[in-house]
Chain A
Amino acid sequence: EDKVVQSPLSLVVHEGDTVTLNCSYEVTNFRSLLWYKQEKKAPTFLFMLTSSGIEKKSGRLSSILDKKELFSILNITATQTGDSAVYLCAPTSGTYKYIFGTGTRLKVLA
């Protein structure tokens, strides 16, 4: 059975801290892995990862995929209160068949 495990479940940090969020997966027919930020209702797209070892970066956020060890990490440096959200990862188990994790709830304190 396909599964996705995100850790930690929740995290509280102070502004300026660096955080690392983990996503491990076991899925058949893996094609890619997506990361999202969910602040209220709608998840906002962050990254799509398809190849191992290639880091994707967007400002203070970066992510990398390890297809051999079946995990991905999302790093956020110099955190800000606006980074407070639930972060979701979703590997595919086929074309457009994304399996969403339950997310990591990040709270950044001023």
Chain B
Amino acid sequence: SAVISQKPSRDICQRGTSLTIQCQVDSQVTMMFWYRQQPGQSLTLIATANQGSEATYESGFVIDKFPISRPNLTFSTLTVSNMSPEDSSIYLCSVGTDNEKLFFGSGTQLSVL
């Protein structure tokens, strides 16, 4: 399986600021996703990161709040904009294989004060 690196690993941010999370994969992948895990909750899909076009967002998530870039088949970024304490979560990058398995990056623990 691909090696998926995320950074930062964790951050503490002030409300109203933005944070960009990077995801780097060691091989080219077609399917790339961003998930959120709020404290005590399960994983929720934010969006599918599409290479060369706008991301596809799930219900409840909007581009203005979570802009995503996918400039090539090995890299993506997720920005959490205008943060509030409710954005405190683990953010996870994941890649999908041709047989629909999902593998996750190392994760970013975000705390918003």
B92 & A41 in contact (Cβ 8 Å cutoff): yes
A31 & B100 in contact (Cβ 8 Å cutoff): yes
- A contact residues around B107 at 8 Å (CB): 40-42
Which stretch (A12-20, A57-65, A72-80, A94-102) binds chain B? A94-102
Q: Interface on chain A toward B: helix, strand, loop, or mixed SS? A: loop
* Residue B48, interface by CB 8 Å: yes
* Residue B57, interface by CB 8 Å: no
- B contact residues around A90 at 8 Å (CB): 43, 102
How near does chain A come to B44, taking the closest CB pair, in angstroms? 8
Chain A: which residue is nearest B101 at the CB level?
A48
- A contact residues around B109 at 8 Å (CB): 41
- B contact residues around A43 at 8 Å (CB): 43, 92, 104
* Residue A32, interface by CB 8 Å: yes
* Residue B45, interface by CB 8 Å: yes
Report the bound CA distance from A101 to B44 in whole Å.
10
In this complex, the interface size class of chain B, counting residues with CB under 8 Å from chain A, is: 20 to 34
- CB < 8 Å: which of B31, B33, B43, B100 contacts A92? B100
Report the bound CA distance from A83 to B8 in whole Å.
27
Report the bound CA distance from A110 to B96 in whole Å.
36
B102 & A102 in contact (Cβ 8 Å cutoff): no
Quick one: given A96-B31, A96-B33, A96-B96, are A42 and B42 in contact (CB under 8 Å)?
A: no
Chain B contact residues, CB within 8 Å of chain A:
1, 31, 33, 40-45, 48, 90, 92, 96, 99-109
20 A-B contact pairs sorted by A residue (CB < 8 Å): A32-B100, A36-B104, A40-B107, A41-B90, A41-B108, A41-B109, A42-B104, A42-B106, A45-B1, A45-B103, A48-B101, A88-B43, A90-B102, A96-B100, A96-B102, A98-B102, A102-B40, A102-B41, A102-B42, A103-B42
Chain A contact residues, CB within 8 Å of chain B:
31-32, 34, 36, 40-45, 48, 88, 90, 92, 95-98, 100-103
